[in-house]
Amino acid sequence: MAFMIAQRAYIKLYLINKVEQRRGYGYQMLEELKEEFKPFGYVPPQSEIYRALHELVQEGVLYRTKQLKGNDPSVDFQEIVLYHFTDNGAEKAALYKKQVKTDLDRCIGMLHKAVADNFV
């Protein structure tokens, strides 16, 4: 088993969360995640977020739609990408989250152990 939880898994967990909250607008998710981890000095890399989204699509958890950003197509041509659960996507996501939870708990255990063993 790997030393710590993979960054990809951690990010996928949050992307699933955003889609559950119907906040599945690609660029917006990216900005929200960057903001969210600022207090931890961690900037989720854009490339990792896009790869994670790509994997979730490949795995049949999410699908993409595109729509124009504004309401008037004659004025606003910018397309945005939205992510949604596929028919059984929520079910697949729940299973995936369960696996990630196990690894999160394991990692929390290893980090707490290091604190307990090395800092009294």
**Among 98, 102, 96, 3, CA closest to 55:** 96
On whether the CB atoms of residues 82 and 24 are closer than 8 A, the answer is yes
Using rule CB under 8 A, residue 107 touches a second copy: yes
Using rule CB under 8 A, residue 3 touches a second copy: yes
Among 54, 64, 69, 113, binds a second copy (CB under 8 A): 113
User: Residue 114 Cβ, how far from a second copy at the closest point, in Å?
Assistant: 6
Among 57, 81, 82, 104, binds a second copy (CB under 8 A): 104
On whether the CB atoms of residues 13 and 112 are closer than 8 A, the answer is no
Total residues at interface with a second copy (CB under 8 A): 34
Q: How far apart (Å, rounded) are the C-alpha atoms in residues 7 and 9?
A: 6
> How far apart are the two ends of the chain, measured CA to CA in Å?
28
- The mark string for 4-43 relative to a second copy (x by CB under 8 A, - otherwise) is xx-x--x--xx-xx-------------------x--xxxx
